[in-house]
């Protein structure tokens, strides 16, 4: 089976190509213009037979590395903990409150309990194959746990730059895998620490390092493409709408790239509308204003939505919404808590940030943006147990 040819990277904003890079600063030309923009993988698919590839994938056990022909690391160099292959779970009408077919892409089933495992399986594989000795990230929780697990599997040292307010469970799991937490003054200071210490101590950085966010490492974002492949496989078609909890939007961009590849290969005939469920209205305001750069919003440091807590969205996410004809929906804590309870009533125990996609569906129905026959897939990114401080207190019952 022919392997897609990785030509290099391409800027999501200006379209300029660049060679493979080992940092996450994004497109130099766009940065000079004051609009930091991501560089993502650019593949030549001309030698890939889409029909034959789809048939071959159907014969394999569902998993992330089952899609190795469209991934940036050779499968024989994979660092894997059996991630991917997560199910679609249909929500009953009593939970959704509408007749639209609504399905959860249940990423809680991954090894560390979140969709970050798709990113770090690829990113750590890439780092190990590139000769890295230490990988480093900035994280508020799930990413830190995931990279720690995959670095341990690869035999690499791992540094997680976080803050003292990180959930105890997340910190404990990071340290259990042998990673070293480094504490910043606040969330914004994490970027400075990553930039400075990576240069001093030869860290291979896998996440964003910019105060104005750009993206995490392009190779890891490719891991999220596999969610799009699996959705089409399990649904037998492309859903009309996909809702995704978004902070910087690595998962949103990766899924969109996956759907676009399936379309380019002739495997699907159309593309979905992508919806960003955001904690703060950065993308919403940028779409309404026709802006090129999402604005920074005022963050609520008490918010339970720590996994989607970046108050400024990325150019990368904004481009996905515009290209797909999608939308953005901000989500408050009360709405997230209500959505968590509704998902729980269907047997889906979700971290609050993971319930944002359901909040977005409710709002889009109110706006009549969703059509009655739209099939909607909402991404549940992480399990409830990953953030136990947000679970109900048994003592109150």
pLDDT tens for each residue of 331-372: 999 999 999 999 999 999 999 999 999 999 999 999 999 998
CB atoms within 10 A of CB 344: 16
Q: What's the confidence (pLDDT) of residue 1? A: 73
Q: What is the CATH number assigned to the segment(s) 116-216?
A: 3.40.50.1100
- For the cut 50, the answer to whether the pLDDT of residue 397 exceeds it is no
**Confidence category of residue 95, pLDDT binned at 50, 70, 90:** confident
Tell me whether the CATH fold assigned to 88-111+219-390 matches the one assigned to 116-216: yes
- Average pLDDT on 264-292 reads 98
Q: What's the confidence (pLDDT) of residue 391? A: 59
Task: Copy the structure tokens of residue 128.
Answer: 């190990």
CATH number belonging to the domain at 88-111+219-390, selected among 3.40.50.1100, 3.10.110.10, 3.40.50.2000, 1.10.730.10: 3.40.50.1100
- For the cut 90, the answer to whether the pLDDT of residue 315 exceeds it is yes
Q: What is the pLDDT of residues 173-210, one digit of tens each?
A: 999 999 999 999 888 899 899 999 998 999 999 999 98
392 in Cβ contact with 359 (< 8 Å): no
- For the cut 60, the answer to whether the pLDDT of residue 377 exceeds it is yes
- For the cut 90, the answer to whether the pLDDT of residue 97 exceeds it is no
User: Strands of 5-11's sheet, edge to edge?
Assistant: 17-18, 5-11, 39-44
- Average pLDDT on 298-308 reads 89
- For the cut 60, the answer to whether the pLDDT of residue 224 exceeds it is yes
Q: What's the confidence (pLDDT) of residue 2? A: 81
**Confidence category of residue 103, pLDDT binned at 50, 70, 90:** very high
| pTM (two decimals) | 0.96
- Average pLDDT on 135-152 reads 95
* CA 354 – CA 187 distance, rounded (Å): 20
Q: Please report which residue ranges of the chain form alpha helices under DSSP H.
A: 28-32, 50-59, 93-96, 116-129, 142-154, 168-176, 189-201, 218-223, 225-235, 250-264, 282-289, 315-324, 333-345, 356-366
**HSE-up of 159 (CA within 13 Å, CB side)?**
22
Q: Where are the domains of the chain?
A: 5-77, 88-111+219-390, 116-216
**Confidence category of residue 396, pLDDT binned at 50, 70, 90:** low
**Confidence category of residue 393, pLDDT binned at 50, 70, 90:** low
* CA 366 – CA 189 distance, rounded (Å): 39
- For the cut 70, the answer to whether the pLDDT of residue 392 exceeds it is no
- Average pLDDT on 306-335 reads 96
- Average pLDDT on 299-327 reads 94
Strands 273-278 and 241-246: parallel
Task: Determine what percent of the chain is predicted with pLDDT higher than 70.
Answer: 97
**HSE-up of 263 (CA within 13 Å, CB side)?**
14
Q: What is the pLDDT of residues 323-334, one digit of tens each?
A: 999 999 999 999
Q: What's the confidence (pLDDT) of residue 366? A: 94
* CA 390 – CA 383 distance, rounded (Å): 11
* CA 336 – CA 319 distance, rounded (Å): 25
- Average pLDDT on 7-28 reads 94
364 in Cβ contact with 109 (< 8 Å): no
Ranked by mean pLDDT, the top range of 39-48, 88-97, 168-177 is 39-48
- Pick from 15, 8, 19, 43: nearest CA to 29: 15
Task: Copy the structure tokens of residue 48.
Answer: 């890939």
Give the residues across from 18 on adjacent strands. 9
């Amino acid at each position: 089976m022919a392997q897609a040819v990785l030509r290099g990277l391409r800027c999501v904003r200006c379209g300029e190509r660049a060679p493979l890079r080992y940092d996450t600063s994004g497109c130099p030309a766009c940065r000079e213009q004051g609009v930091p923009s991501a560089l993502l993988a650019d593949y030549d698919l001309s030698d890939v037979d889409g029909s034959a590839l789809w048939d071959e994938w159907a014969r394999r056990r569902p998993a992330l590395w089952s899609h190795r022909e469209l991934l940036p690391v050779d499968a024989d160099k994979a660092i894997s903990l059996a991630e991917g292959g997560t199910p679609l779970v249909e929500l009953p009408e009593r939970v959704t409150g509408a007749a639209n077919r609504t399905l959860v892409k249940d990423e809680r089933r991954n090894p560390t309990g979140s969709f970050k495992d798709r990113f770090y399986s690829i990113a750590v594989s890439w780092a190990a194959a590139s000769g890295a000795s230490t990988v480093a990230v900035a994280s508020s929780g799930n990413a830190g746990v995931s990279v720690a697990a995959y670095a341990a599997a690869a035999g690499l040292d791992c540094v997680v730059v976080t803050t003292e307010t990180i959930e105890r469970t997340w910190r404990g799991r990071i340290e259990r895998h042998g990673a070293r937490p480094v504490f910043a003054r606040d969330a914004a200071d994490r970027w400075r620490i990553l930039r400075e210490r990576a240069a001093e101590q030869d860290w291979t950085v896998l996440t964003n390092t910019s105060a104005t966010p750009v993206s995490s490492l392009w190779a890891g974002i490719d891991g999220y493409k596999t969610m799009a492949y699996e959705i089409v496989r399990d649904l037998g078609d492309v859903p009309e709408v996909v809702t995704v909890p978004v902070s910087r939007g690595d998962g949103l961009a990766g899924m969109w790239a996956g759907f676009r590849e399936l379309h380019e290969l002739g495997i699907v005939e159309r593309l979905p509308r992508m919806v960003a469920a955001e904690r703060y209205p950065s993308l919403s305001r940028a779409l309404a204003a026709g802006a090129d750069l999402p604005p920074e919003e005022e963050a609520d440091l008490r918010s339970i939505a720590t996994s989607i807590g970046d108050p400024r969205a990325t150019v990368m996410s904004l481009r996905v919404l515009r290209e797909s004809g999608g939308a953005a929906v901000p989500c408050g804590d009360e709405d997230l808590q209500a959505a968590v309870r509704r998902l729980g009533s269907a047997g889906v125990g979700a971290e609050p940030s993971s319930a944002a996609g359901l909040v977005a569906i409710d709002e889009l129905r109110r706006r009549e943006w969703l059509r009655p026959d739209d099939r909607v897939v909402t991404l549940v990114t992480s399990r409830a147990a990953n953030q136990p401080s947000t679970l109900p207190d048994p003592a109150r019952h």
